[in-house]
Structures are given as structure tokens and as C-alpha cells.
Amino acid sequence: MPLPPWISDLPALDLLLSVAETGSVGRAAQRHGISQPAASERLAKLERRLGVPLLVRSRRGSLLTPAGQAVVVWSQQVIEAAHTLADGVRTLRDDQKARLRVAASLTVAEYMLPAWLLALRRTHPDLEISAQVANSQGVCEAVRGGAADLGFVESPDIPAGLSSRQVGEDRVALVVSASYPLAARASLKIADLPDQPLLLREPGSGTRNTFLNALGDVDLPHATSLGSTTTILATVRAGGGIGVVSARATDALVRAGELVEVRVRGLSLVRPLHAVWLGAAPTDLAAELIANSIAA
């Protein structure tokens, strides 16, 4: 059965609820930001459309008729649901137009994301941007859980359920301090790695996954997991082993002679960088940030 036309007159029903709460058409009109004559006309029109009297007007205010009391009770949940719908849609529109939530893996966040966000800020000076930093697994979980609109990861594998686009490349490097015994060697073989004290990022890191995937089934009994690139580099400087990190984090230190990169013959450690999002297409703001990352 189709709904009657008057069911769409939610503002008049909302005004009727205010009359019931305040006991006065004038006070209800003030609450809704309209004049008393406009409120009276709106309520009279509602009575005509419903075909029942809703109010008894007197010098002391406006009282609900029995029919009016019934309509108020039946309207309460409808009006509350309408306000919930309006607030929800308003929030969705505000989120799309004025806010972008980004999650990025450590390498991307430290060495690339700031420039991309700066370019976006130039075209959207009033845009509210929030950024969180995690390893690649954490970034994907944030996007999949709705905590981020867009993520950037360095992991070679994208989890099912997420859309992605490659935005660039990175390289994983093995580095030692200039005084470390291996610094004088031109290169290593893959078979040499199990005997070395390797310093790896924590499980879930794209850098770690890239390195382990490239090695295949090679066991690394002397490897140590550390929670950040900064910690790995500090340990490397102290002579604590071979750091496995993004080359972006080591290039300046290698050029300065503080660290030495150790090459491993037959080991390719170039990896793609991906933008990831939930759904078929990113939001307009997310798409613009992706374009900035590709153009950089």
C-alpha cells in the first residue's frame, strides 16, 4: 500500500511535537525559527491533510486533542528516525567534502607522504587531513576497518577486499657501519645470509616481507626483529649487525660514508609502492592524493 501524501510533511509533525513539549504554538515557532502565524498556518494545513483536529487553542496556550495526542505518540519515533537520517547524511557529506583520513607505512610516511599532502593542501587550504603511521599490515587493517579513507603500503601483497594502484617503487637495502667487518667486502651470496646477524623490521612490515619473500625458504637463525627503521639504524651504527631497511632511509648516510651498503648477488629487492582503498573507486580527495603521489 502506498504511503499517503501527508506522511512527507515531517516538518509539520516535528512542529506539532514541539507544541506538545512547550504547550504553546508561539514557543514552538520560536524553537523552529519561524513566526507564530507561519507556525499556525503549518499546523492548520496538517490538520486539513490529516482530516482530524489536533489542537484546541485558548488564551492559556494550545492543548492537544485526543487525536493530536495519538498523532504525537505515533510521530515521535518517525521524527527521531528522520533526525538520525539527516545527521548521518550530513556527516557523510562533510567527511567527503572536508576531511581525508590517510594511513601510511613508515617508509612512505617519513620520506614521501609530507610532500604529497603539501601539494593537496595547496589546492584545498581548508581541508582537514588526519594521518596515521603503521606498518603495511596495520595500514591495510585501518583501511579495511573504515578508520582510513586511503592507505599507502610497501608490501608486495595486497590483501583481498582492497582496491589498489601502484604509485611508485622503492628498494630495500642491506647496510652496515663503515667499521663493520663486512664493509670491506664487495658483496655477499644468498647462502652467506643465514650466518649473519640481520636486523629486520617487525612482522607485518612491508620491508620485512619484501626481503623474506625474495629469499624464499632460506632460514635466518640469527635475525633480530626491531620495531622501527630508526632503531635498526642506531643498532647498525653501533656495529650490531646488518640492517635491512628502505634505501631511502640510508642513501644520505651511505653518501656521507657513515654506512656501507652490502650487495647480495642474485637478490632483487625492488618493490612496488601501492595506494589502497575500500570499494571500487577512491573518494575524490583520495584520488587527488593518489595523483600527487604518482606525479611526485
C-alpha cell at 10: 515531517
Helical packing angle, 229-237 and 247-255, nearest 10° = 30
Q: Is 227 helix (H, G, I), strand (E, B) or coil?
A: coil
Residue pLDDT, tens place only, 83-107: 888 777 776 665 555 589 999 999 9
Domains of the chain: 5-96 (1.10.10.10), 98-168+272-295 (3.40.190.10), 170-271 (3.40.190.10)
Please give the helix or strand (H or E) that residue 215 lies within, else none: helix 206-215
Residue pLDDT, tens place only, 227-280: 899 999 999 999 999 999 999 999 999 999 999 999 999 999 999 999 999 999
Find residue 112's DSSP bridge partners.
none
Q: How confident is the model at residue 210 (pLDDT cuts 50, 70, 90)?
A: very high
Give the end-to-end CA distance of the chain in Å, rounded to a whole number.
58
Q: What's the pLDDT score for residue 201?
A: 96
List CB contacts of 113: < 8 A, sequence separation 6 or more.
102, 104, 131, 152
CB atoms within 10 A of CB 270: 11
